[in-house]
Chains A and B, each alone.
Chain A
Amino acid sequence: MYSNAYIFRYAGLMVILVAAILSSAAMLLKPMQERNEAVDKMQSILDAAGIENVNSKNAIELFNQYVTKMIVIDEKGVITDEYKDAGKENSEAFKVNLKEQLYNKSINRSFKLPLYVLEKDGEKINIVPLRGVGLWGPIWGNIALKDDFNTVIGVTFGHKSETPGLGAEIETPVFTDLFPGKKIFNEKGDFVSVGVIKGGIENFPADVQRHNVDAISGGTITSNGVNDMIKNVLESYVPYIQKRE
C-alpha cells in the first residue's frame, strides 16, 4: 500500500519531469518548426499560382524569384504597407496574422489583409491567402486570381484536423482542380465569390456553373467551410479591386 505522501510526491515529480521534457522539446525545436511553416506557406502560394516542381528545398529561392510585389490593404481598399526588396519572408505582408485580422473583420473593426503579386511568363498573378473554419478545426489556403481579379487560376487548401478521406480531401487535386476558370464576379460586375455546392454541378444552369464547384460527398461541413472562407476573405478585397479599376 502506498501512502498519500508517496502519491503526492510521485505525481508532483512526474508532472515536473514531463513539463520539463515537453517544454524543452518545444523550445529547442521551435526555430526549425517556424522555418518549416514559412517554407510551407511559400510553397502553398507558389502552388496556387501554378508554378511547378516546388519543393521544400527550392521554395524560398523560387518565392524570391517570382513574387514581385507584397502589399497590405485595409478594409477601405487603401494600401498601408508595400514591400518590394529582398528578404520577403520578413515583410509585413508575409507576417500578417490572418486569424486576428479576420476576427477584427467579424466584429466590425478595421483590418489589414495581405496580397501577393507574382509574375509568371509576363503575366501578373494575384494571390489571396485564405483562412476559415472546417468541421473540426481551422482550414486555410491560397487562391490565385488573374490580373483582372476575376478568373481563378488555381487554389490550394490546407486543414488542421478534417476527417481523413472525407473533409481532408479538400487539399487533394481531385477537389482543387475544380477551381481554375471559375469567376468571382458576375457579368454585371457584382461580387458573387466562388461557391461549393451540393447536387452535381452539371445539373445546374451555366450561370451557376460559372461560379460554383462540386462539394465533397461525406464532407459537407468542410465543403461549406471552404465556401464561407472564400466568400468571407475575398469580399474584404472588393473595395481594393474596385478602386484600382
Chain B
Amino acid sequence: MSTDKQEREPLFSAKNRKLLTNPLNIDNPITVQVLGICSALAVTAKIKPAFVMALSVMIVTAFSNFVISLMRNGIPPRIRIIVQLVVIASLVIVVDQVLKAFVYDVSKQLSVFVGLIITNCILMGRLEAFAMVNKPWPSILDGIGNGLGYGIILIILGFVRELFGSGTIWGFHVIPEAFYDFGYKNNGFMILPPMALIIVGIIIWIQRSRNPELIEN
C-alpha cells in the first residue's frame, strides 16, 4: 500500500463529523453509554459549576485522546490501563498547576473538579474504545464530541435543577417575586443528588422514545 496514491481524507469528512455529533444524541456518554453519572449528579445543582465541569472534561478528553492516540502503537496491551491513567492524571495535574500559578481565581473555582475529572469514566472509556485504535485527529474530534455530549446533559440538568431548586439561572433570579407571594416555594428536593438521577432517567426516557434504534429487544 503506497501512501502517495491514497487520497487524503478531508479534516471534516462525513465520518469525522459523525464523531462530533453522535455523542450528542445516539451515542451520548451519559444517557446511552451510562458513563460519568456520578459527576453528573454531583455538580449540577447550579448551572455554573455544571458548565465549568463540562468545559474541563471536554478539554481533558480531547487532549488525553490525542496523546494516547499518538502513543497507541507502542503501548503494551497488558499495562495499557495504567498508561492511560498516568496520561490522564499527569495532564490534569499539569493543567491544575499552571492555573494555580497564572489564573488563581479560576483554579479556586476548579479545585473540586480536578479530582472529579481524573475519575470520570468517560475519559478512560474513550481512551480504551477509541483512541487506542484510531489516528490522532479523529481521536481529538471524538474527545471533543464526547465532552460536548456530556456537557449538554450536564447543562440541561443544571438548568432544570437550578430553576426549580433555587429559582435562579446562572445565579440570577428569574422566578418573579410575585410567585413567592402567592405561595410558590423552591423545591428543596431538586438540589439533592437523587433528583438529578430522576431527571437523567426522564431524559433517557424521552431520548429512547424518539430514537427507535436505541430500544433493545
Contacts and interface: CB of A to CB of B under 8 A. Distances in A.
A36 B45 contact: no
Contacts of B49: 164-165, 168
B98 A25 contact: yes
Interface bin, chain B: 35 or more
B112 A161 contact: yes
A18 interface: yes
A166 B45 contact: yes
A36 B99 CA distance: 11
A166 B191 contact: yes
Interface string A143-175: 000000000000000111111111010000000
B86 A165 contact: no
Nearest to A11: B79
A106 interface: no
Contact of B86 (A14, A26, A32, A164): A14
A168 B170 CA distance: 15
A195 B38 CA distance: 32
Nearest to B102: A32
Interface residues of A, number: 33
Contacts of A32: 101-102
B100 interface: yes
A11 B82 contact: yes
A107 interface: no
A162 B42 CA distance: 10
A80 interface: no
B201 interface: no
Contacts of A25: 93-94, 97-98
Contacts, number: 87
Interface in B89-116: 90, 93-94, 97-98, 100-102, 104-105, 108, 111-113, 115
Interface string A22-60: 100110010011001101100000000000000010000
Contacts of A218: 45, 188, 191-192
Contacts of B42: 163-164
A82 B210 CA distance: 71
A103 interface: no
Interface in B106-141: 108, 111-113, 115
B192 A10 contact: no
Nearest to A162: B112
Contact of A21 (B82, B94, B111, B191): B94
A17 B170 CA distance: 42
B46 A164 contact: yes
B79 A7 contact: yes
B191 A36 contact: no
With most chain A CB atoms within 10 A of its CB, the pick from B76, B161, B191 is B76
Contacts of A36: 100-101, 104
20 contacts: A7-B78, A10-B74, A11-B82, A14-B86, A22-B93, A22-B94, A29-B98, A29-B100, A39-B104, A56-B104, A160-B111, A163-B42, A163-B43, A164-B112, A165-B43, A165-B46, A168-B112, A218-B188, A218-B191, A218-B192
Given A14-B86, A32-B102, A136-B112, 10 more contacts: A7-B78, A22-B90, A33-B97, A33-B101, A164-B43, A164-B53, A165-B44, A165-B49, A165-B161, A168-B112
Interface of A: 2, 6-7, 10-11, 14-15, 18, 21-22, 25-26, 29, 32-33, 36-37, 39-40, 56, 136, 158-166, 168, 217-218
Would you list the 3 A-B pairs with minimal beta carbon distance, nearest first? A165-B45, A164-B49, A29-B101
